[in-house]
Chain A
């Protein structure tokens, strides 16, 4: 990678401004990350030591279940509690033209002029999984900027769009009544990733049935889990049930901060490292790298914020090339 002193200075300045919470710089940083691999990596290396303080909440569920409207009300409740908020909202890119219509923000425009809220729309750019490739890094930018809570909204999700679990600490899966058949359809994927279930539009007929269906499905879990996902009812339009939802989000945060949650956090950091390696080498090589002694040491270092996952990946990959020459 070529390094020019001016470029590094520029990036350092940008990173400093992001850390100070400057909105224009946050916006520019996210654009950079979406568009330019090499510069983005350098920027992340600068920001990473300042991350790890935010609680990341993923909101997923079928299209039309009310995710965006729910998020607007969650922001409102978080602001009432004095929390600063970042949002990364994802909508799909067209596989045909590459274009996208990003409409999640419409429901949240009320908070656009709130200095302690930052909302960014993102297109998937045809990456499967329900979130964009740059989502994780965009969250890092908002984390470094000091947001207390960052909310990640996925595209309308069906079965396989479960990548949110790799990014969020707390995953909220939102359903709406009358999507009964869809609940059947999504049982294999989305049902397994929820830390909290929400049946939104609870004023509609069949809301209770949806709750019963989810609870019944949870009963079938054979493995005893330390965290039992609550099943809540909300009416996002009126704000009903939102306070309880936010309570549960913080309950889950507390849960993660002790006991069983610590291994989950470690696991998440490990995932970050693996994803970073994937950016550099083919999947085949990843298994080989995993077996290296250095892998576990680096996860430890990332946990301690001594190094960021991208720098760690570069280190592992360069070692591999060296060893091949020796063979």
Chain B
């Protein structure tokens, strides 16, 4: 209908972590902001997440993690993204992530980390502003 490209977002839950209230709230907020949001469901391997990014051809990947395994899982995910040539996808993270890990995470290519209490508006604005404009 409209020729304006919809922003497609994947919200993913890597690893052994069943806490997905945050992921669902963010997914819902982005949906209400007019985006098409795909949710992977719980307990995804890095391989599953990256393959989903590829098949769904999303513009944005949001990783939600509260298990503490982010420093093990994020590098693997970003490595696979590189390998599959998915370098133009905007990646952000959210959940329980200690401040001292944030610089390391950003170095991996994850553009932003949103902790508890982040206003939804902040996340929506961030995605709108940074989502790649691909054809």
Contact between A23 and B55, CB atoms less than 8 A apart: yes
Per the bound structure, the CA–CA distance linking A100 and B28 in Å amounts to: 9
Whether A109 contacts B48 by the Cβ 8 Å rule is: yes
* Partner pick for A118 among B27, B33, B45, B55, CB 8 A cutoff: B55
Q: Are B5 and A35 in contact (CB under 8 A)?
A: yes
Which residues of chain B come closer than 8 Å to A100, judged between CB atoms? 31, 35-37
Using CB atoms, name the residue of chain B closest to A106.
Answer: B41
Q: Does A180 contact B (CB under 8 A)?
A: no
Roughly how many angstroms separate A24 CA and B48 CA in the complex, as a whole number? 15
Contact B39 A103 (CB under 8 A): yes
CB proximity to B under 8 Å, residues A86-118: 93-94, 97-103, 105-107, 109, 112-113, 118
B38 near A105: Cβ-Cβ < 8 Å: yes
Q: Mark B39-58, 1 if CB is under 8 A from A, else 0.
A: 11100110110011011110
**For the complex, what is the distance from the CA of A127 to the CA of B1, rounded to whole Å?**
8
Q: Given B2, B31, B37, B40, which contacts A109 in the complex, CB threshold below 8 Å?
A: B40
Q: Which residues of A are found within 8 Å of B34, using beta-carbon distances?
A: 94, 97-99
Whether B28 contacts A109 by the Cβ 8 Å rule is: no
Query: What is the interface of chain B mostly: helix, strand, loop, or mixed?
Result: mixed
Q: Which residue of A lies closest to B11 (CB)?
A: A101
Assuming A24-B84, A35-B5, A36-B3, is B33 touching A97 (CB within 8 A)? Answer: yes
B128: chain A residues at CB < 8 Å are none
Chain A residues with Cβ below 8 Å from B5 are 35
Q: Are B31 and A101 in contact (CB under 8 A)?
A: yes
- How many residues from A make CB contacts under 8 Å with B? 36
How would residues 130 to 172 of chain A score, 1 for a CB under 8 Å from any chain B CB and 0 otherwise?
Answer: 0001000000000000000000000000000000000000000
Nearest A residue to B37, CB-CB: A101
Instruction: Tell me if B57 and A27 are in contact (CB < 8 A).
Output: yes
The distance in angstroms between the C-alpha atoms of A84 and B5, with both chains bound, is 30
**Assembled-state Cα–Cα distance A28/B85 (Å):** 13
CA distance A98 to B1 in the complex (A): 11
Of all chain A residues, the one with the shortest Cβ separation from B7 is A99
Query: CB-CB < 8 A to B28: which residues of A?
Result: 101
Is B135 on the interface with A (CB-CB < 8 A)?
Answer: yes
Does B30 touch A at the CB level, under 8 Å? yes
Q: In chain B, what residue has the closest Cβ to A114? A: B51
Quick check: B3 and A119 within 8 Å, CB to CB?
Answer: no
A23 CA to B51 CA, complexed, in Å: 9
Distance of B40 from chain A, by nearest CB (Å): 6
A121 to chain B, nearest CB (A): 5
Complex-state Cα separation, A34 to B135, whole angstroms: 11
- The answer to whether B57 and A30 touch across the interface, beta carbons within 8 angstroms, is yes
Task: Kindly state the separation between the CA atoms of A94 and B45 in the bound complex, as whole angstroms.
Answer: 30
Interface residues of A in 183-216 (CB under 8 A from B): none
CB distance from B20 to the nearest CB of A (A): 11
- A31 within 8 A of partner (CB): yes
Known contacts A35-B3, A113-B48: does B30 contact A99 (CB below 8 Å)?
A: yes
- For A27, the closest partner residue in chain B by CB is B57
Tell me if A123 counts as interface (CB < 8 A to partner B).
Answer: yes
**B32 contacts chain A at the CB level, 8 A cutoff:** yes
Q: Give B residues with C-beta under 8 Å from A.
A: 1-3, 5-6, 8, 27-28, 30-41, 44-45, 47-48, 51-52, 54-57, 84-85, 135
Give 11 pairs: A residue, B residue, CB < 8 Å, sorted on A: A27-B55, A27-B57, A34-B6, A94-B31, A94-B34, A99-B31, A99-B35, A105-B41, A112-B55, A113-B48, A119-B55
In the A-B complex, list the 3 residue pairs whose CB atoms are closest, starting with the nearest: A106-B41, A27-B57, A99-B31
